[in-house]
């Protein structure tokens, strides 16, 4: 088997999704990018195979391309301008995080086969949806009013 075919096989096994690699190598890719070195062209312990590159000659499975899109939307929405109110900023970041979990759970329902995981996905959709609603209600409360209520309960 040629080098190109070996790399393509590894990408298929790892769940290649464009700029996002899904599988056991996502940690090193993130660590590499966080350390300031480009993830593009980074190499793994897998015989020097590229870890994550922007181009791929492999057709992406629909699940993996959709989950990469969901993750991208979630992370972009979590990038907020700090308001100085840590509690409110936390909720403003957690709402898109929870929505990302809901969107991923919907993909599990759409593509998954394991009934236990489908039940888990349904639970995630309900519970994370309830938490989003609660955080939105708290955000609708004027700043400081929620903490004043907590202090009066003591």
**Span 110-143, pLDDT tens digits:** 999 999 999 999 999 999 999 999 999 999 998 8
Domains, the chain, ordered by start: 1-59 (no CATH), 62-147 (1.20.1260.10)
pLDDT band at 148 (very low <50, low <70, confident <90, very high): low
Q: Measure CA 135 to chain center.
A: 20
pLDDT band at 147 (very low <50, low <70, confident <90, very high): low
**Distances 126 to 94, 105, 132 between C-alpha atoms, Å:** 16, 10, 10
For residues 52 and 144, the model is more confident at 144
For residues 67 and 60, the model is more confident at 67
pLDDT band at 36 (very low <50, low <70, confident <90, very high): very low
Query: Rounded mean pLDDT of 63-81?
Result: 96
For residues 133 and 144, the model is more confident at 133
**Distances 80 to 67, 83, 92 between C-alpha atoms, Å:** 22, 9, 8
**Eight-class DSSP state of 114:** -
For residues 109 and 30, the model is more confident at 109
Instruction: Write down the pLDDT at residue 142.
Output: 87
Residues facing residue 16 across a β-bridge: 21
Mean pLDDT of the chain: 71
Instruction: Write down the pLDDT at residue 3.
Output: 46
**Distances 1 to 15, 18, 70, 111, 145 between C-alpha atoms, Å:** 20, 23, 34, 31, 66
124-150 burial, b for 16+ CB within 10 Å, e for fewer? bbeebeebbeebeeeeeeeeeebeeee
For residues 30 and 64, the model is more confident at 64
In whole angstroms, give the CA distance from residue 52 to residue 48: 12
Q: What is the 3-state secondary structure (H, E, C) of 38-89?
A: CCECCECCCCCCECECCCCCCCCCHHHHHHHHHHHHHHHHHCCCCCCCHHHH
Instruction: Write down the pLDDT at residue 33.
Output: 35
In whole angstroms, give the CA distance from residue 7 to residue 50: 8
């Amino acid at each position: 088997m040629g080098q190109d075919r070996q790399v393509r096989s590894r990408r298929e096994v790892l769940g290649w999704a464009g700029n996002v690699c899904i599988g056991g190598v996502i940690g090193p890719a993130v660590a590499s990018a966080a350390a300031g070195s480009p993830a593009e062209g980074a190499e793994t312990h897998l015989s020097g195979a590229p870890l994550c590159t922007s181009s791929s000659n492999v057709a992406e499975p629909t699940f993996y391309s959709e989950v990469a899109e969901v993750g991208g939307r979630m992370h972009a929405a979590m990038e907020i301008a700090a308001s100085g109110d840590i509690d409110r900023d936390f909720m403003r970041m957690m709402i898109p995080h929870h929505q990302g979990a809901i969107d991923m759970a919907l993909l599990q329902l759409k593509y998954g086969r394991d009934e236990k995981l489908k039940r888990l996905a349904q639970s995630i959709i309900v519970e994370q949806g309830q938490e989003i609603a609660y955080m939105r209600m708290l955000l609708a409360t004027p700043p400081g009013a929620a903490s004043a209520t907590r202090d009066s309960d003591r």
